[in-house]
Amino acid sequence: MFFERANYLNQLNMEELELIQKIKKHTQKYNADNISRTDAYFHYYNRNPEIIWSFLASMVSRNAGWNMCDLEGKWFSKIINKQLRKKLFLTYERANWLIFQDAFPQLLLYQYSTKMNRPMFHLLRYFHVSSYMVKEWRLFWDRRCIKRLMISQIINEQNIIQKPVIKHPAYRRKVFQTPLFLLQDWFHYSSVIFPTCDGQLFGASVNGFISLSKRIDLGKRLSDILFQKELYPSFYEFAKRTVHTGSRYDYEFYFKDRPKRTTPFLRCTFPLIKQRKHKAEDWSKNKRLKRKWLKENVEHIHPIELTEWYMNKQAQIKKAINLKEIVEMKR
């Protein structure tokens, strides 16, 4: 493997070798934590608006930050023990780190290609990007199929985390098979939310998280919501105006009846995690693409406007936690 990679590198010119090192350096820098990832995706979108996945990734990354901070907030810390909270945080962090580690070099290489006015996707192999995405980037360069590329990126990112996170024995046993996670998944308590500066919330609830196909379907439904003509300007305004701190209060701030802050700032709460590299594998060589993954049309079974739903779910969670505390006090 070492000699094979060395031979590949010998085939590159100095410009290409320097570009690879530059991209690796930038990826490492911006993959430090949830805040840096979220901001990097959004700044990239502003420079390359045709790569719409980067805006979707930024908005979903905001949700990951809110979920992390919830773990150390006023309510969840009462019902989830410290050990499990740490495992949940590390799961979020690992999954999002893996996606960024794979996706950001692709984004930067495309950006460099536009500057040079020639495709440089032959270098994707040096970042262990799947052969599926190499093909899709070349197709995008030739045909500019904006929506197809975004769907391909959704498919790729979810396959990237399937084996090292979702199916990993440690995560599966200690996180995805815990009663708390199964209960949360069953009752749709988790959701991906896109806020507006008018205090409205849109999005979709997450059910069947461990299913690869359901996560891909969720990604496509979320993109359909995010880029609806009448909604997109409001979502973009929120992203541009609102500094991402990781706290759920980032969007609760815009509510008409603004609640008190109950979740902390991410960087005041969690340490930087030094991630270990995993054995890179090309998932697309061992998995057949399902036809339904590639379909562009999506179906929204549930309402996409979630403001009232969110308020009700928050009230239910608080009521359940307060009841649990009362029962424990009487024991």
Q: Give the distance, in angstroms, between the CA of residue 145 and the centroid of all CA atoms in the same chain.
A: 22
Alpha-carbon span 203 to 56, nearest angstrom: 12
Alpha-carbon span 208 to 185, nearest angstrom: 6
How does pLDDT run across 308-330, given as a tens digit for each residue? Answer: 999 988 888 888 888 877 877 77
Res. 170: pLDDT tops 60:
yes
C-alpha closest to that of 249 among 91, 69, 94, 111: 69
The shares of helix, strand and coil residues in the chain, as percent rounded to the nearest 5, are: 65, 5, 30
How does pLDDT run across 33-76, given as a tens digit for each residue? Answer: 999 999 999 999 999 999 999 999 999 999 999 999 999 999 88
Q: Lowest mean pLDDT of 77-81, 205-209, 212-216, 291-295, name the range.
A: 205-209
C-alpha closest to that of 250 among 8, 69, 34, 10: 69
Q: Which helix (H) or strand (E) holds 214?
A: helix 212-226
Domain of residue 175, residue span: 2-330
Res. 189: pLDDT tops 90:
no
Res. 5: pLDDT tops 70:
no
β-strand partners of 204: 192
C-alpha closest to that of 102 among 57, 142, 141, 68: 57
Which residues are CB-neighbours of 103 under 8 A, at least 6 positions away? 53, 57, 153, 156, 157
* Exposure string for 184-218, b = 16+ CB within 10 A, e = fewer: bbeeeebbbbbbbeeebbbbbbbbeebebeebbbb
Query: Number of structural domains, the chain?
Result: 1
DSSP state of 267: G
C-alpha closest to that of 109 among 81, 128, 87, 90: 128
Residue 246 pLDDT class (50, 70, 90 cuts):
very high
